[in-house]
Structures are given as C-alpha cells and as structure tokens.
Amino acid sequence: MRVVREMYETSNRGDFKRTREYFHPDAELIVPESLPDPGRYRGRDELFRWFANWYVTLFESWEVEIRDMSQRGNAVIIEHRLHGKGRGSGADVVMASASVNTVVDGLIVRAQPQMSLEDAVAVAEDEASGI
C-alpha cells in the first residue's frame, strides 16, 4: 500500500515525472463505462494521456485526498475524494470516488478508477480471485 500512497502524494505535488515511475512501463489502465473515455489503455504514455485529459483538461487545480485504503491480495482499494477547481468555470468541485491499483514487485501494474467504493471492492475481489 505504501507504493500507492506515495504515488498519490507525488501526483498531488505535481511531480508527474516521478509519478510515472510508480507504474510499470506496460501498466494497464481500465476505465469503466461510468467514467469519461472508457476503455483499456496500455503503457505509461497512454495511461498518463488519459489522466491528463481527465485532470488537466477539467481542472485548474486539484488534489486527491485518500480517505481509506485496504488490500485484497495485490489489489489496493483506495477510497478518495477529489478536490478541484473547474478550469472553465472556476467552480469548486468535490467528488467522492474510489480506485483499485494492483501492485506487483513494487510497481503498479493495473489502475482501475471506479465511481464508488462498492464498485472498487468488487473489482479488487475479482482481481484477488484471478477473474
């Protein structure tokens, strides 16, 4: 869980070069239909292109607050809250959501953002059982 926590802290500081290093070069991002630009993205470049589209395009500034973390096998469940300022509107945005990051050999090999903690728990349980 330490790797995941450090990745979020590094991202919140805006050190994206260092943030990339927490992910395996062939890491996979699986975005469900409930989020913008759903699909499977492979590799750091594609993964960070999706994150840039999500965060940089939509928000002037943001911070992801980790509310809770738990683990099922290699899958780390993160309950978080996004605090941001809308790029176009300047409106304050607070959004509760969750994600699952699968860690192998000290690197994140799979990231799966989810709309809810319940969805993240289900994804993590599937990951842990090998589905």
Alpha-carbon span 12 to 34, nearest angstrom:
24
**E strands, the chain, where?**
23-31, 39-42, 59-72, 75-86, 92-104, 107-114
Segment 55-90, tens digit of pLDDT: 778 888 889 999 999 999 999 999 999 999 998 899
Q: How confident is the model at residue 58, as a pLDDT?
A: 82
Structure tokens at 115: 């709309």
* pTM to 2 decimal places: 0.92
Q: Which distant-in-sequence residues (6+ apart) come within 8 Å of 72 by Cβ?
A: 121, 124, 125, 127, 128
Structure tokens at 109: 């090999």
Note down pLDDT in tens along the chain; length 131 residues: 999 999 999 999 989 999 999 999 999 999 999 888 999 999 999 999 998 887 778 888 889 999 999 999 999 999 999 999 998 899 999 999 999 999 999 999 999 999 999 999 999 999 888 75
- Residue type present at position 31: V
Tell me which CATH code domain 2-126 carries: 3.10.450.50
> What are the extents of the domains in the chain?
2-126
Q: Which long-range contacts (CB under 8 A, 24 or more apart) does 45-48 make?
A: 47/23, 47/111, 48/16, 48/20
Q: What is 36-51 written as a DSSP string?
A: SS-EEEESHHHHHHHH
Alpha-carbon span 30 to 45, nearest angstrom:
14
